């Protein structure tokens, strides 16, 4: 990252399939929710990673995935999770296994706030990602405890959901952190968020306009350009041949993305930065570097160099490839498993290959 002048690592390390964080207050969450004892992040692991990044000019922002994608919490503390491992999962989650935090249980709030406190100490960065993506209401409306809770208080599920979100985000702010959320909070659930909230855009590039015209600062990671995990099929083994995977975002498509497109100058000024995302359903130590590099380098040049030269000329991809080809070779020489961009002949003789 530092070689490419990428200076923020957004670490989404909790999800439905695993709870690898070794909490001091609730060790059972990782002991029962991680894949194994070897798949846990201790306090020392996290501190070492944060320090390693700091020495290379990289901030580390943690994400606390809540209240969706939370099945793994249930293995350690069952009472704080609804619709755990419903079969079939369809209608309860966007991908298996199903499970969302039980937003009517006071124990849930206690656990979440304690985890926030612990992570706030381990991650000194001033930003904290409060997640909030891909919540499925059907999970909660089929939980008898939540249904009874709503009936007794004459509340709707959205009112209860909003209260949970506000309480969680207020607790993060009490730790002197700026709250970052996924775009659903603003654009799907239509919550009114405090003006200082950072909204991360991922569902297509149109969300950038939708968020900034509402006056919110944004981080752009539009999946139709800057998701690096797509194009390899569905993130689970699927026997049905008519279910396609998402399209592959090749380096030129990554480079072509103008995150300012269709924005006014005022809206464009609300963009805090961009992020390429590497989700790990279909990645592990054998292939993740090749999926990230050198495509992430293409995004990094756009974010640092922009779209025009100081004289107003467009910075085009047919010029960028002349820089990206040798840069990929240099990353390989430095030990990074960056994927090739073309045949070796074109790396050595780019002007012979890329003629107009």
Residue that has been written with the tokens 């990782």 in this structure: 30
Alpha-carbon gap, residue 154 to 146, rounded angstroms:
12
- Cα–Cα distance list, 249 to 182, 266, 275, 278, 343 (Å): 21, 29, 14, 12, 19
The answer to whether 270 and 195 are in contact (CB under 8 A) is no
Q: Where are the beta strands (DSSP E) in 196-292?
A: 198-201, 217-220, 271-274
User: Quick one: three-class SS letters along 198-226?
Assistant: EEEECCCCHHHHHHHCCCCEEEECCHHHH
Which of the 8 DSSP states describes residue 277?
B
Instruction: Give the closest residue to 161 by CA, choosing from 77, 63, 61, 82.
Output: 82
Among 110, 134, 289, 329, the one annotated catalytic: 134
Alpha-carbon gap, residue 223 to 244, rounded angstroms:
16
Q: How many C-beta atoms lie closer than 10 Å to residue 322's C-beta? A: 12
Alpha-carbon gap, residue 61 to 26, rounded angstroms:
22
| List of long-range contacts for 344-352, beta carbons under 8 Å, 24+ apart | 350/321, 350/322, 350/325
Nearest-Å Rg of the Cα atoms of the chain is 22
Q: Is 134 a catalytic residue?
A: yes
Q: Where are the beta strands (DSSP E) in 53-163?
A: 59-63, 81-82, 100-101, 127-129
Report the catalytic residues.
134
């Amino acid at each position: 990252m530092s070689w490419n002048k990428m200076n923020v690592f957004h670490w989404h390390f909790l999800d439905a399939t695993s709870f690898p964080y070794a909490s001091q207050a609730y060790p059972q969450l990782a002991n029962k929710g991680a894949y194994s004892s070897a798949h846990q992040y201790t306090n020392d692991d996290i501190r070492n990673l944060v320090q390693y990044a700091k020495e290379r000019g990289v901030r580390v922002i943690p994400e606390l995935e809540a209240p969706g994608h939370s099945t793994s919490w249930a293995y350690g503390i069952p009472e704080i999770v609804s619709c755990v491992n419903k079969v079939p999962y369809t209608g309860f989650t966007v991908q298996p296994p199903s499970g969302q935090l039980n937003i009517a249980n006071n124990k849930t709030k206690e656990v979440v706030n304690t985890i926030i406190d612990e992570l706030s100490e381990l991650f000194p960065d001033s930003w904290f990602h409060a997640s909030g993506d891909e919540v499925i209401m059907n999970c909660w409306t089929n939980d008898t405890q939540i249904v009874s809770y709503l009936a007794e208080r004459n509340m709707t599920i959205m009112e209860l959901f909003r209260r949970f979100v506000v309480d969680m985000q207020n607790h993060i702010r009490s730790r002197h952190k700026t709250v970052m959320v996924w775009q659903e909070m603003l654009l799907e659930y239509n919550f009114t968020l405090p003006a200082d909230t950072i909204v991360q855009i991922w569902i297509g590039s149109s969300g950038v306009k939708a968020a900034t015209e509402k006056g919110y600062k944004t981080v752009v990671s539009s999946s139709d350009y800057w998701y690096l995990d797509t194009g390899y099929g569905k993130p689970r083994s699927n026997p049905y041949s008519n279910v396609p995977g998402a399209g592959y975002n090749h380096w030129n498509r990554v480079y072509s993305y103008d995150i300012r497109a269709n924005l006014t100058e005022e809206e464009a000024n609300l963009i805090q930065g961009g992020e390429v995302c590497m989700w790990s359903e279909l990645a592990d130590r054998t292939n993740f570097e090749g999926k990230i590099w050198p495509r992430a380098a293409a995004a990094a040049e756009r974010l640092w160099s922009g779209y025009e030269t100081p004289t107003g000329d467009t910075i085009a991809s047919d010029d960028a490839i002349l820089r990206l080809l040798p840069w990929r070779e240099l990353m390989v020489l430095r030990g990074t498993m960056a994927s090739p961009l073309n045949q070796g002949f074109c790396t050595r003789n780019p002007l012979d290959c890329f003629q107009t």
